[in-house]
Structure 1
């Protein structure tokens, strides 16, 4: 669970308690956020104008960091929470968003993390703060800021400690990074449409004023926007207001993963379509990820026929299939991965394409032939719904080097459907019904 081991998850086990403190206005029925990918010049983590090869390699590295982050954080949660060290989010999260909070408003960039629940931002007055170009949020200057008292039901678990009358949390990360602060509430502003913002009062968040050993490229990131199913996350706190719904449609383009997309909530969610396919979210104890029930995989028109329960989530936390936007490439559990890749390899070699050295974590790469056309699709057979990935979204092309790679990687114990394979697909999460819906769409036409 990502990181359901963080202090707020352990502090806030009862979603009903969390929701009881949210009192949005009647108009708070829908809003949207711009999803800013790391490769966009708008991103606070923009790495510069990379070549296609450099960009592809960066996507591989981000995907590997994300997979390690998700699996490590879930396994760590089964151990002593006091000993948890999570990887730092910047290396394992691809999208960010700009929003405002406080009265008067102050703009902040937060990393969007569908694997964690805690919403936090750097907060003045600082004990220790990492370098940030944008003005820091000043809790003492906001008329709508409030601390959550120690007597509040949300401050009663073991990692929320009452210190000098304040409900204090602590979140530790790999490499020694740590964020500490005061559990608080504030008014957040979200985009209602392109011309106005929607104020949402009494949002619970972490006012982090003691942060050590964080290094964020570009120095614009100020914190994390948690989007998983834990009670402290954005979607859980706003569940009744947004009718439990949010969606995204990731834009595809020649400049891979550079275009911004729209993250929609509630009435802004595009949910009324006849061609949606629907599959249940697999809720389990000790996890707040979005698990889907993967039954089988097809490569091209060939359904492999994996034995039943191959991809099931096991009681010890192994197995399962997570849908996530933090990873770019898709991961398949090592055993099934070998069988899937055999299908790709037999297909490409049958056309005389020569397999070449692996590119980073991509193990199946082939010399390009400009006249070659029969690239294979791939289908994830979920419970009640087939998720077909067209060839456009199945490969990383290294045109300058003259080869391409299948955008799949192995991982021990987990399958992870990443952002690359979700491009040009409307994906709707309906938490009231406990389902995910999806249908192909030209995501470039999705505008505010």
Structure 2
């Protein structure tokens, strides 16, 4: 099967963390929206989004965390079976491993078997959905075949299909909808045994957000991700449709930048302050619009090499300890790490991320991640000699973040996501 290969950077970093698992629970909403809880295995409870004061029944889904990724739990098929896919704002395709799957990576949970579902149907080559995804080609059986690749070389291949997806609400109600998705029969790359596929939440036409826009009132969603190292029994959450807006005191917003590539959520980063010292994105002080994008599927924040070098030098200057250098697992160079018996979170500076029109504060818990006892590593890395960066999920933790494709803005609100 040959298709258009789509690449994105979700798998560029193999940042190994311990037991971070995310699942999704959904609450049916009268107003057409819904919210997913994100359940973690190493995870962090306040009233949910302020918008829910006006939309009290916004559907929710749980997300759990596992090894730096957030896994969204949905029910698929009839009878329904559980699927745990990486919640990924950096890609569009929704896919899961399917039987038969001779060329697949190992997974702990049973693979989805289309022949056991009464609501499964293949998508033909001539269908609108096949042309919509921009990855579809025609198989000898007239099925819509796809090939979808990621920046690390990870690839999923299979057929596009339509299936019933069901989300169980926290009140016991359910909401169901039809979803076009990839039934992956040949999947390789840097996946672990808990990851059954990917839930693409990007801006493209075949993402979960785009497909659900008409069903749940609008193409907007919000997420509140738990930070690494919190109680694994507490869930993160993601909310879709009307009622998922991020509003109220303390909200800051930055414009979404439209580019030819519709998948990433591009924003403009002007610089980052380390304590009171401002480090500009580049020496000239002028930046290109849309020089960063927000990616829940990438753990660390990845920055252009020159900017990263200046930033990390200032961070080192403000930490009264001798660092150690650790080679990262993704061959992106060395990481700034400290080996210490004291809590580095009490001795590291606060960083302020200066997006266009929005200042977002990052505490040391966002910026220094303890991958093992006694070692803390800076949660940002060099992305090489390029002029664009990725704002990863470490930095997004404990912020209610609203992606509003109606107003074309991203909003941030500092939030204890364990109380959402």
Taking structure 1 as the reference length, the TM-score comes to 0.71
**Structure 1 unaligned runs (5+)?**
8-24, 47-57, 60-93, 314-318
Q: Give the superposition deviation at 1:386.
A: 0.9
**2:136 corresponds to 1:169:** no
The 8 Å contact of residues 135 and 146 in structure 2, kept in 1 or not, is answered as: no
Q: Give the superposition deviation at 1:341.
A: 2.2
Q: 1:339 aligns with which of 307, 310, 322?
A: 310
What secondary structure sits across from 2:310 in the alignment?
Answer: helix
The 8 Å contact of residues 155 and 161 in structure 1, kept in 2 or not, is answered as: no
Q: 1:160 aligns with which of 137, 149, 152?
A: 137
RMSD of Structure 2 on Structure 1 (CA): 3.6
Number of the residue aligned with 2:297: 326
**2:114 corresponds to 1:114:** no
What secondary structure sits across from 1:137 in the alignment?
Answer: coil
**2:64 corresponds to 1:97:** no
Q: 1:271 aligns with which of 231, 239, 246?
A: 246
What secondary structure sits across from 1:246 in the alignment?
Answer: strand
The 8 Å contact of residues 33 and 264 in structure 1, kept in 2 or not, is answered as: yes
Q: Give the superposition deviation at 1:155.
A: 3.0
Number of the residue aligned with 2:158: 181
The 8 Å contact of residues 64 and 70 in structure 2, kept in 1 or not, is answered as: no
Q: Give the superposition deviation at 1:427.
A: 0.8
Number of the residue aligned with 2:382: 410
Q: Give the superposition deviation at 1:438.
A: 0.5
Number of the residue aligned with 1:360: 327
Q: Give the superposition deviation at 1:292.
A: 0.9
**2:345 corresponds to 1:378:** no
Distance between the aligned counterparts of 2:41 and 2:92, measured in 1?
Answer: 21
Q: Report the CA distance shift for 1:400/1:235 in structure 2 as closer, same or farther (over 3 A).
A: closer
Q: Report the CA distance shift for 1:222/1:365 in structure 2 as closer, same or farther (over 3 A).
A: closer
Distance between the aligned counterparts of 1:101 and 1:112, measured in 2?
Answer: 16
What secondary structure sits across from 2:312 in the alignment?
Answer: helix
Equivalent residues in 2 for 1:207-222, closer than 5 Å: 207-208=183-184, 210-211=185-186, 213=188, 216-218=191-193, 220-222=194-196
Distance between the aligned counterparts of 1:363 and 1:175, measured in 2?
Answer: 19
Equivalent residues in 2 for 1:164-313, closer than 5 Å: 164-171=141-148, 178-201=155-178, 203-208=179-184, 210-211=185-186, 213=188, 216-218=191-193, 220-240=194-214, 241-252=216-227, 254-255=229-230, 259-267=234-242, 269=244, 271-305=246-280, 306-307=282-283, 311-312=287-288
Distance between the aligned counterparts of 1:366 and 1:127, measured in 2?
Answer: 43
The 8 Å contact of residues 5 and 147 in structure 2, kept in 1 or not, is answered as: no
Q: Report the CA distance shift for 1:193/1:303 in structure 2 as closer, same or farther (over 3 A).
A: same
Taking structure 2 as the reference length, the TM-score comes to 0.75
What secondary structure sits across from 1:327 in the alignment?
Answer: coil
Q: May I ask how many residue pairs the two structures share in their alignment? A: 368
Distance between the aligned counterparts of 1:127 and 1:45, measured in 2?
Answer: 27
What secondary structure sits across from 1:354 in the alignment?
Answer: coil
Q: Give the superposition deviation at 1:193.
A: 2.9
